[in-house]
A and B are shown apart, each in its own frame.
Chain A
Amino acid sequence: MSNVPTELKYTKSHEWVQTNGDGTVTIGITDNAQELLGDLVFVELPEEGSVLAAGDQCAVVESVKAASDVYAPISGEIIAVNVSLEDEPEQVNSDPFGNGWLFRMQPEQPEQIAALLDASGYSDTLEA
């Protein structure tokens, strides 16, 4: 069974969202997602400063097997990206909720965060 931390919010498309306490959020892909993809070999990150709407395709994670799109869970501006993934994309496999984070956003409509799935809601989508 994959790990689904209860303090995070989730999307059906397997992104996780962590609120950082300063109004910003950190986003990555879930343990379940990295397990399905297998060994990651390349991560294409969004541009810092780009402004996205919820649901916009904004990053790509590629394993030896396949490429998979990552979507912005909420609307807002990209304020940081995890550049260490350029050389060590395998951090997404080994630590998907920690060092394997993908990018940080400044939410445009913070109320979108509350509308995301909670851990049990996300777990339900995995069992369906």
Chain B
Amino acid sequence: MSQRTVLYDHHVAAGAKIVDFAGWEMPIHYGSQVQEHHQVRNAAGVFDVSHMVVVDIRGEGAQAFLQYILANDVAKLKVSGKALYSAMLNPEGGVIDDLIVYYLGEQFYRLVVNAGTREKDLAWLDKQKTDYAIDLKVRDDLSILAVQGPQAIATVQSLLSESDRKTIDSLGVFFGVDVAGMFVARTGYTGESGYEIMMPNDRVGAFWDRLLAAGVLPVGLGARDTLRLEAGMNLYGSDMDETTSPLTSGLNWTIAWEPAERDFIGRVAIQSEQDAGVKQKLVGLVLLDKGVLRGHQKIYCDAGIGEITSGTFSPTLGKSIALARVPHDIGGHCEVEIRGKRLAAQVVKPVFVRNGKSMLES
């Protein structure tokens, strides 16, 4: 019983190869994953990410609830429309999911969580909300498009009226705003500028058609993965899950330790892990030899053994890159075992490409 987004027929019409993704029939590519990747780095592409889950949280207890269930602190959100990236932890400090939360007004927040974790996330939210005066509403009436690339902002704006254009032209990074019956946010999962746009299901088809008519090309989930990996962004289920701590998943920056008196789920566990000394970390790898890094390949260095969590060939860099969970004291180089051979790799900060440019030091 797989599901389809409202845009399914549009994908087929655009030549999509459809695959199952978390129970959804989604486009993996529309002909060439690599061309779609370059389209986003060089111009503009549109992704249908309507399978992701939007949850609106309203009520007097909304802020306190989110302060309790998220490792980042929504009290940082003081201006309407501002967004925050956070992990949602279990009591053992494992990552239940990563999400974006938007502050939309007094007693009103919006979460966007992963499609693959939908059922367990909703069950978890439901279980934790009992002591809070809040109302949860899953917004399956909304579709989501991500329009990404150096020309994305100008192209989306060209489809809006003059006054609507002004409204979103001043939108800062990681802010969203209601405009023309849509919720438009300066967020994304590619390392390029662009928007993520939520709109009613009955309007998304027409907006998709207008984007394509304006020269934006459709991009599948295949390129979405290579783009996010080049950008050094984690993928839930690959780079972190319920058995891994945010401290070994490159998510330290998303944990709000202050104020110290804020009690959030998982705090005690990750605090004691921090106090004991974190043993591993998530790093970037660049393969120096020929080949392709893939998930679960073993890493060898003087400090011990690690494992690749996500690997691919980087179309932008023309070499293979990966995220890997490795011993905390790994040096600048390591070896990766691929089909029984050990190949040389360089250890780098886990950001490979930003705004079309290589972040690797040459």
User: Residues of A with Cβ closer than 8 Å to B?
Assistant: 38-39, 41-42, 44, 60, 62, 64-65, 67, 86
CB contacts (< 8 Å) of B29 on chain A: these are 38
Which of the segments B62-70, B179-187, B209-217, B290-298 contacts the partner chain? B290-298
Consensus secondary structure, chain A interface: strand
- Contact assessment for A67 and B292 in the assembled complex, using a CB-CB cutoff below 8 Å: yes
- Contact assessment for A64 and B226 in the assembled complex, using a CB-CB cutoff below 8 Å: yes
- Contact assessment for A39 and B292 in the assembled complex, using a CB-CB cutoff below 8 Å: no
Q: Which of B4-42 contact A (CB under 8 A)?
A: 28-29, 32-35, 37
Q: CB of B312 within 8 A of chain A?
A: yes
CB contacts (< 8 Å) of A86 on chain B: these are 290
User: Residues of B with Cβ closer than 8 Å to A?
Assistant: 28-29, 32-35, 37, 222, 226, 290-292, 294, 312-313, 315, 320, 339
Q: From known contacts A60-B339, A65-B33, infer whether A41 and B313 are also in contact, taking CB-CB under 8 Å.
A: yes
CB contacts (< 8 Å) of B222 on chain A: these are 38, 64-65
A92 to chain B, nearest CB (A): 13
- Contact assessment for A44 and B291 in the assembled complex, using a CB-CB cutoff below 8 Å: yes
CB contacts (< 8 Å) of B32 on chain A: these are 38-39
A46 to chain B, nearest CB (A): 13
- Contact assessment for B290 and A64 in the assembled complex, using a CB-CB cutoff below 8 Å: no
**Docked pose: A22 CA to B292 CA in angstroms:** 36
- Contact assessment for A39 and B339 in the assembled complex, using a CB-CB cutoff below 8 Å: no
A62, A65, A86 pick with most chain B CB within 10 angstroms: A65
Q: From known contacts A38-B32, A39-B33, infer whether A67 and B294 are also in contact, taking CB-CB under 8 Å.
A: yes
Q: From known contacts A64-B226, A64-B315, infer whether A38 and B292 are also in contact, taking CB-CB under 8 Å.
A: no
B146 to chain A, nearest CB (A): 19
- Contact assessment for B292 and A42 in the assembled complex, using a CB-CB cutoff below 8 Å: yes
B100 to chain A, nearest CB (A): 26
**Residue in chain A with minimal CB distance to B35:** A39
Q: From known contacts A39-B32, A44-B291, A86-B290, infer whether A64 and B339 are also in contact, taking CB-CB under 8 Å.
A: no
CB contacts (< 8 Å) of A44 on chain B: these are 291, 339
